[in-house]
Amino acid sequence: MSSSALTVLAIPGSLRRGSFNAMLLRAADARSPEHVAFEHYEGLGDLPHFSEDLEGALTPASVLELRDRLRAADAVLISTPEYNGAMPGSLKNALDWASRPPGESVFKEKPSAAIGASPGRYGAQRSQEAVRRVLGAMGAEILDEELPVPRVHEKFDTEGVLVDEDVAAQLDGLVSSLAELTGIPAPPLPSSAEYSLECQRMLA
């Protein structure tokens, strides 16, 4: 874990290589305040289908890792595509695993937010609503903000860099709101005297 003031576990809902939702999370990471450290979860495809037969002593290592990383994070940011009007099954599967055992959901009171992107005109809006509904059922503290990104293929350049200023500004605001939801204060800004001294050191 980073020594920064707070950590955000970023979970893309797509398994696709070159996922736009993964790109959106990386953009959030690149633009985040200095006191916010992102960790990127890439194990969605390693999780078995949820089954109560695999609980207890038989819980797979990939599931234990997911729960540990969720438990250790100060906040969670999920970016989901939309498949047939809903979140992908692989993402729902991960959330189901995270909700178990009964009464021990690692999302309980966890500051969480859902954003999403799609090539269509709705920006995975219904999928985001579904994610928030599931998070609420698991007891998460949900950020009451959304960020649908329609026509997402037009928002990034060929290098995967976010170039849409409006989306970037909304993303900045949402990450800041999620950080505030944790209740962990940002480190104080340096005083003018400290800033002047640091500038002198840099010029020396």
What is the set of domains in the chain, with CATH numbers? 6-203 (3.40.50.360)
DSSP one-letter string for the chain:
--SSSEEEEEEES--STT-HHHHHHHHHHHHS-TTEEEEE---GGGSPPP-GGG-GGG--HHHHHHHHHHHH-SEEEEEE--BTTB--HHHHHHHHHHT-STT--TTTT-EEEEEEE-SSSSTTHHHHHHHHHHHHHTT-EE-S---EE-SGGGTB-TTS-B--HHHHHHHHHHHHHHHHHTTPPPPPPPPHHHHHHHHHHHH-
Q: What is the value of pTM for the model shown?
A: 0.90
Q: What per-residue confidence (pLDDT) applies to 5? A: 83
Q: Residue 2 has what pLDDT?
A: 44
pLDDT in tens, 158-174: 999 999 999 999 999 99
Determine the pLDDT at residue 38. Answer: 98
pLDDT attached to residue 141: 98
On the question of pLDDT at 138 being above 90, the answer is yes
Q: What per-residue confidence (pLDDT) applies to 1? A: 42
Task: Please give the Cα distance from 106 to 175 (Å, whole number).
Answer: 21
State residue 199's pLDDT score. 59
